[in-house]
């Protein structure tokens, strides 16, 4: 039976989660489907995944597949902290704004958010909350969590990640990276994954796959075994242990093989650049008026401001989200299957709505 309920021509720019499964990943799931394999991670695919992860992040790296990004963040951070520990993050961090309080309520983790202009922490910003060690009245700041790429579409350079790690490690703190869009960062920076993770001093990583063509699943990747403990127990305790783990692992293997993670993310980044470039060209020649940009476009997201009312009218044709409705700021996301035609149609629709202002 073929079940198809959606319109194949419907396109959107709300989230890279809207895209389907990359054909190469779907093929990997199918290839892993026949026969029996031991459940709960004792399968050959999960064993192979750890070999592949070692090739990208170093032989010491170990992967723990989980169901989703929130699970990866919560369980990974739990493994890095004692009960009295706290995490310094940005005020826009996904763990702070978009995980329904899971780090606090499920993980029992105190978050110490810091305001940033571009979604990125610096040693100086970290110091605003990295203090009070030994004070029994204060949750102890023991982990810094950064997002790569950030929730504002910006990317940490290799040197920026290393500067944070070099600053916090002597303080007795460890570094967590929420890599929901880590592939987009790698494509943007043009360097191997280990350059801005293992080699730059990241201790534990949440490796994202769903936003880059996977059906579901992410992985906690422990880069520094001394910075994490208990994951074998915490994953089950937090309902993130998949019985049929081979299907998560097979997807991650496919994503990390033959540069699929780079090909998919690089295309999404290129489509975001095409979108921004078309809008900038229109602004320059006067055909587009009233559009501004609130962040640099360094990955697959474009953050812009529009005249009042334009976003709601444009959403009748293409779905996307407000980022800060109070200042008419919106976010447009591209994915591995965004086409040049999608971008051109979106720009044409936006141009029409702006002309009606």
* Residue 34 burial (10 A CB sphere; 0-12, 13-18, 19+): exposed
Percentage with pLDDT > 90 across the chain: 96
Mean pLDDT for the chain overall? 97
Question: Is residue 329 a contact partner of residue 295, using CB atoms and an 8 Å limit?
Answer: no
**Same-domain check for residues 85 and 38:** yes
Question: Is residue 196 a contact partner of residue 189, using CB atoms and an 8 Å limit?
Answer: yes
Domain end among 258, 291, 307: 258
Q: What are phi and psi of 206, to 5 degrees?
A: -95, 110
246 in any annotated domain: yes
Residue 285's CATH number: 3.90.1150.10
Residue 340: C-alpha distances to residues 20, 267, 272, 292, 337 (Å): 17, 10, 10, 22, 10
Length reported for the chain: 357
**Same-domain check for residues 206 and 74:** yes
If one counts the domains in the chain, the total is 2
pLDDT, tens digit, 9 for 90 and up, residues 74-117: 999 999 999 999 999 999 999 999 999 999 999 999 999 999 99
> Comparing C-alpha atoms, which of 71, 80, 94, 163 is closest to residue 125?
163
Residue 23 in this model has a pLDDT that exceeds 90: yes
Residue 105's CATH number: 3.40.640.10
117 in any annotated domain: yes
Q: Which two tokens stand for residue 11?
A: 């396109």
Q: Which two tokens stand for residue 117?
A: 């202009």
pLDDT, tens digit, 9 for 90 and up, residues 227-270: 999 999 999 999 999 999 999 999 999 999 999 999 999 999 99
When pLDDT is cut at 50, 70 and 90, the band that residue 150 belongs to is: very high
**Same-domain check for residues 135 and 81:** yes
When pLDDT is cut at 50, 70 and 90, the band that residue 199 belongs to is: very high
> 103: domain range?
22-258
Domain end among 206, 238, 258: 258
Q: Which residues contact 17 (CB under 8 A, 6 or more apart)?
A: 210, 211
340 in any annotated domain: yes
> Comparing C-alpha atoms, which of 59, 24, 58 is closest to residue 253?
24
**Same-domain check for residues 186 and 215:** yes
When pLDDT is cut at 50, 70 and 90, the band that residue 10 belongs to is: confident
pLDDT at position 7 is: 86
Mean pLDDT of 206-218: 97
242 in any annotated domain: yes
Q: Which residues contact 31 (CB under 8 A, 6 or more apart)?
A: 250
When pLDDT is cut at 50, 70 and 90, the band that residue 8 belongs to is: confident
**Same-domain check for residues 148 and 241:** yes
Does this model's pTM top 0.95? My answer is: yes
pLDDT at position 1 is: 73
**Same-domain check for residues 125 and 228:** yes
**Same-domain check for residues 43 and 111:** yes
**Same-domain check for residues 208 and 138:** yes
């Amino acid at each position: 039976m073929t079940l198809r309920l959606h319109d194949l021509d419907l396109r959107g720019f709300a989230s890279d989660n809207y895209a389907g499964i990359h054909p190469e990943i779907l093929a990997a799931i199918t290839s892993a489907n026949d026969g029996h394999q031991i459940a709960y991670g004792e399968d050959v695919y999960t064993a192979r995944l750890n070999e592949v992860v070692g090739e990208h992040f170093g032989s010491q790296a170990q992967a723990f597949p989980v169901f989703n990004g929130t699970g990866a963040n919560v369980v990974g951070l739990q493994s890095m902290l004692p009960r009295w520990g706290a995490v310094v993050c940005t005020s826009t961090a996904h763990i702070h704004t978009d995980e329904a309080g899971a780090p606090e309520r499920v993980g029992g983790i105190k978050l110490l958010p810091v305001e940033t202009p571009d979604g990125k922490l610096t040693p100086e910003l970290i110091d605003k909350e990295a203090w009070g060690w030994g004070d029994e009245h204060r949750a102890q700041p023991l982990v810094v969590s950064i997002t790569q790429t950030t929730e504002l579409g910006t990317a940490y350079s290799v040197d920026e990640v290393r500067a944070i790690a070099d600053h916090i490690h002597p303080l007795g703190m460890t570094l967590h990276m929420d890599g929901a869009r880590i592939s987009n960062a790698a494509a943007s920076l043009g360097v191997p994954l280990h350059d801005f993770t293992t080699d730059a001093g990241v201790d534990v990583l949440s490796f994202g796959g769903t936003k880059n063509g996977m059906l579901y699943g992410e992985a906690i990747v422990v880069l520094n075994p001394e910075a994490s403990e208990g994951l074998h127990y915490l994953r089950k305790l937090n309902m993130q242990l998949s019985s049929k783990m081979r299907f998560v692992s097979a997807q991650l293997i496919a994503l990390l093989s033959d540069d699929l993670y780079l090909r998919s993310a690089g295309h999404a980044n290129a489509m975001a650049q095409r979108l921004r470039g078309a809008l900038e060209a229109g602004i320059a020649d006067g055909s587009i008026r009233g559009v501004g940009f609130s962040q640099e476009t360094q990955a697959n997201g474009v953050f812009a401001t529009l005249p009042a009312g334009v976003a709601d009218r444009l959403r009748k044709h293409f779905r996307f989200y407000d980022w800060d409705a109070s200042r008419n700021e919106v976010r447009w996301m591209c994915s591995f299957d965004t086409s040049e035609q999608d971008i051109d149609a979106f720009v044409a629709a936006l141009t029409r709505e702006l002309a009606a202002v």
